[in-house]
Amino acid sequence: MDAALGAPEKMAENEDELTPMMSQYFELCREYDDSLVLFQVGDFYETFCEAAEKTARLLEIALTQREDSTGTYPMAGIPIDNAESYIETLLDAGYRVAVADQVQDPEETTTVVDRAVTRIVTPGTLTEDELLDTDDNNFVACLTEDYERYGLAVLDVSTGDFYATSARRTAAIADEVSRFAPAEAVVEPGAADETASECFDSDCMVTPYDSAAFDSATARERVESYFGSPDALLAADAEVRACGALLAYAEYTRGGAGVGGEADETAGDDGQLDYLNHLTRYEPREYMLLDRVALSSLELFERRTVHGDADVTLLGVLDETACPLGSRKLKDWLRRPLLDPDRIEARLDAVEEWTHDVRTREEARDLLRDVYDIERLVARISRGRANARDLRSLKATLDVVPELKAAMADFESEKSVELRDQLDELADVRDLIARAIQEDPAREITEGDVIRESYDDELDELRETEREGKAWIDDLEQQERERTGIDSLKVGHNSVHGYYIEVTNPNLDSVPDDYNRRQTLKNSERFYTPELKEREDEILRAENRADDLEHELFRDVRSTVAAESERVQAVADALAQLDVLAALGEVAATRDYARPEIGGDGIRIEEGRHPVVERTQASFVPNDAHLERAGSPAEGERDDATAADSFAVVTGPNMSGKSTYMRQVALITLLAQTGSFVPAASARIAPVDRIFTRVGASDDIAGGRSTFMVEMTELAAILESATDESLVLLDEVGRGTSTTDGLAIARAVTEHVHDEVGALTLFATHHHELTETADDLPRAFNLHFAAEGTDEEVVFDHEVRRGAATASYGVQVAREAGVPDEVVGRARELLAEAESADVEAEATNGIEAPESEASEPAPKAVADGPEDELAARLREVDVATMTPLEAMNELAALKREVE
């Protein structure tokens, strides 16, 4: 990102001659030279000089000019009332935005109005509802490193969710980053770009920040000011430095005052974010790991292709949550499936209650639909940015709590009881808001109509004075008409001249002596009387004092509520979890999901279904999956017929269902460890520590990596990191290179994963030679998807069976896909030739040919004597393991050499 992104590249020729306002602008641009400064001038945010040219071009707004005594400047502005939509465009273009508000009332000064940067808007520190995705967290991450560890901290400034961990390898940190998908990453200046590029995606804005914030002592002091002793919370200095620097950055982007100059009353002198009450330190080993490749391959949150319904993802199928709190929590659970069987069983016990108790589930879900996003509400309240309607929304949510607790009264599972007890009714907060804030308050908190009557005696007196004065004025018109005899006389008010008595020109002779002229119009004159002026002053004093007092009272109420932010956040977390559990119960009850057993020595699924595919297809064929864990076989045990089946080689035609089958096994496992029921007749799942996927073809052209290189890179990560407690999905490993190389790689991978890693593995392949390899490995076995084919078509039954497939039916599938008939016909001819060559090759290798085919005499042996190069090559050829096409290629090469 441009280091001087928002600073004008060229100042005025003589800065000493700048007007005070332009001097103020240029100074802010220098101070915030990594951001584009939006400078408030009245009702607009303006930019000047080169920044104005950039802004006008990006936002497609008019580029105008400002003229003053020192010269002419390009200028472009956006209305403050609609600023967020423009700021979003600037963020999307890669800019940070520093918002400089007027922090002084223009009427209080005769010189330039004071302005200050009140917030810095960056992709990872958004708090504005208009810019946030309601159903997802928005994280900013911080990465540190020392001589032995990498520290990672992630924070959602809008909700207060704060996590920290560390690892010894960048690959492990990259895996953890993939859980949170941060929008922005903060790093120490001078940190290795290579490390950041390994850990963060290209669409994550990487922000170098002040080195002082990364100092160990400084970071430790900052963490302690929020959460107490870092040693009691964090496990490494790298974690402390990451958390401290991230807190410093969050404070920096917050600014010193709210929008429009309203100070954040909850901020201390050091600008602390007082609503940050919890820091969760976790070990990566506490959760199943899903790296970015697995998240993409399994399509948990996004489809890999642009075709079809974007909501056809695992999240789209499961998300029956009723409120934003629950939707975000569901995503969190899916990103971090559990490993601890006790925690998994606790969730499953609760889901079972919600599944079977239809009445309670429906009642609770109706209540949860009335729940506002109080995680973000309480954050806004604590930052001093909430209005009166926000407080009423908080109360409306808290009003749900007693009813929800009552609805769950009969639930007995450990998790349900724990969450029910966590539902603090916050009667004191609800009562305060009910007494203090009007039911339908004004949106602006500085213009009155916010505080309820009877809440404050002084405010009630002021309002009574105001009402009495206005009632007197309402009666004044009739009284003056009777006194003066002028039937057209009117009493009115405007913001410039105040209250007045208006008399048309023909009636001016009837105006009493106590009328004082206030304003002359074309057809009338406006007057006031001493008594009217006295009442006007009384009303204005009462109005102004009442508005000021209401603002003070509201701020006091907001501060009191903000002091209870930790209690509110605990309730928000309980509501979020209950929403997810109820949603999972709804899915289980309406889609025939079964409760999985947790334990055993592997994965055993009966009649499993793909949770997404079954929703998009009219019919779906369920399939079983049986994989059992076992240690690497001891020497001499390779023929043990009782060895556990842990490695399945899956063959079958294209489109038969191999990839769907593998993914459904992974998704059922993931769902079980999330604490959800699963789409199967039954399932017994031993928790896996990680799901690895090498599925589908993709490339990285910008990074200079071909499809094959991407595949090999992902494969290397699997072979390096998988354990005997992992689940590995491999699909067509070895494509993208020659058939010989591909088969060699596929076979070597099969043997390594089987012999050395011991992971539960599903390996889909078109290398049918691997089926023979499976016969040689004690824990490997063959599965296939059968099909019936003719020259014209192929019929799939999508049922997985034991054993190896007999054909791929690729030509038939090509025909069904719409490949032109002439191409299909030529492919059949070539296939027939290849099959004929295969028969001849088998005969050459000593395999008897079918009786209907004549056998050629065996070639003469090479004469005794020194072996020439051709003879050596012939001896190296293993015809039995070659495909027909490979045999033809080798034969053609040998023929060319002979000729």
For the chain, give every domain's residue range: 15-121, 131-336+350-382, 457-559, 592-816, 821-848+860-898
For residues 735 and 660, give the distance between their C-alpha atoms in angstroms, rounded to a whole number. 19
* Tokens (6 digits) for 449: 């109509």
Among 96-110, 225-239, 665-679, the least confident range:
96-110
What pLDDT band is residue 788 in, cutting at 50, 70 and 90?
low
User: What is the identity of the amino acid at 8?
Assistant: P
> Alpha helices, DSSP H only, in 284-413?
292-297, 314-318, 324-335, 341-356, 358-368, 374-382, 388-398, 400-407
Residue 486 CB-density burial (10 A; 0-12 exposed, 13-18 middle, 19+ buried):
buried
- CA distances 78 to 33, 45, 81, 255, Å, are 20, 5, 9, 21
Whether the pLDDT of residue 836 is over 60: the answer is yes
Report in angstroms the alpha-carbon separations of 510 from 292, 464, 505, 519, 543: 87, 34, 10, 17, 33
User: In the numeric block, which tokens belong to residue 532?
Assistant: 């009217």
Same fold, 15-121 and 457-559: no
pLDDT in tens, 455-486: 999 999 999 999 999 899 999 999 999 999 99
For 131-336+350-382, CATH number out of 3.30.420.110, 3.90.1660.10, 3.40.50.1000, 3.40.50.620 equals 3.30.420.110
What pLDDT was estimated at residue 117?
93
pLDDT, residue 700, reads: 43
Q: Where residue 838 falls among pLDDT bands split at 50, 70, 90?
A: low
Give me the chain's average pLDDT, please: 85
Report the C-alpha gap between 330 and 327 in whole angstroms: 5
Report the C-alpha gap between 338 and 286 in whole angstroms.
7
CATH classification number, 15-121, choose in 3.40.50.720, 1.10.3230.20, 3.40.1170.10, 3.40.710.10: 3.40.1170.10
Q: Which pLDDT value is given to residue 305?
A: 57
Report whether pLDDT(151) > 60: yes
Q: What tokens were used for 143?
A: 């990465």
Percent above pLDDT 70 for the chain: 81
Mean pLDDT of 576-597: 98
Q: Is the pLDDT of residue 335 over 90?
A: yes
Q: Is the model's pLDDT at 799 over the cut of 90?
A: no
Least confident segment among 164-173, 189-198, 355-364, 678-687: 189-198
Tens of pLDDT, residue by residue over 299-314, are 999 886 544 454 689 9
Task: Quote the pLDDT of residue 630.
Answer: 72
Q: Can you tell me the distance from the alpha carbon of 572 to that of 595, in angstroms, rounded to the nearest whole number?
A: 27
pLDDT band of residue 293 (cuts 50, 70, 90) is confident
pLDDT of 115 above 50:
yes
Highest mean pLDDT among 198-212, 815-829, 852-866: 198-212
> Is beta strand 597-598 parallel, antiparallel or unpaired with respect to 682-685?
parallel
Higher pLDDT, 630 or 377: 377
Domain 457-559 of CATH type 1.10.1420.10: yes
Distance CA 669, CA 337 (A): 10
Range with lowest mean pLDDT among 469-478, 689-698, 819-828, 861-870? 861-870
Q: Residue 308: which residues within 8 A CB-CB, separation 6 or more?
A: 616
Average pLDDT over residues 628-640: 53
Q: Does domain 592-816 have CATH number 3.40.50.300?
A: yes
Q: What is the pLDDT of residues 491-527, one digit of tens each?
A: 999 878 889 999 999 999 999 999 999 999 999 999 9
Does residue 792 carry a pLDDT above 70?
A: no
pLDDT exceeds 70 at position 807: no
Confidence of residue 265 (pLDDT cuts 50, 70, 90): very low
The per-residue pLDDT for 160 is 94
CA distances from 244 to 192, 221, 236, 309 (A): 20, 8, 13, 42
pLDDT band at 220 (very low <50, low <70, confident <90, very high): very high
- Furthest CA-CA distance within the chain: 143
Cα distance between residue 209 and residue 7, in whole Å: 18
Q: How confident is the model at residue 103 (pLDDT cuts 50, 70, 90)?
A: confident
Among 284-288, 337-341, 813-817, name the most confident range: 337-341
The pLDDT of residue 789 is above 70: no
Digit-coded pLDDT (tens) for 709-763: 777 878 888 888 899 999 999 987 766 666 777 788 888 888 999 999 999 999 9
415, 596 Cβ separation under 8 angstroms: no
Report pLDDT for 868: 61
Q: What is the pLDDT of residue 464?
A: 93
Return the pLDDT at 740. Answer: 78
Q: How do residues 69-86 score in pLDDT, each as one tens digit? A: 777 889 999 999 899 999
**For 117-143, what is each residue's pLDDT tens digit?**
999 999 999 988 888 888 899 999 999
pLDDT at residue 640, rounded to an integer = 44
| Average pLDDT of the segment spanning 425-449 | 94
Q: What is the pLDDT of residue 711?
A: 78
Average pLDDT over residues 253-269: 45
309-318, 774-783, 831-840: range with highest mean pLDDT: 774-783
Query: pLDDT class for 876, splitting at 50, 70, 90?
Result: low
Among 230-234, 252-256, 386-390, 540-544, the minimum mean pLDDT is found in: 252-256
Share of the chain above pLDDT 90, in %: 59
- Answer with the residue of higher pLDDT: 863 or 359: 359
Which pLDDT does position 856 carry in this prediction?
A: 41
pLDDT, residue 707, reads: 66
The top-scoring range by mean pLDDT among 9-13, 63-67, 523-527 is: 523-527
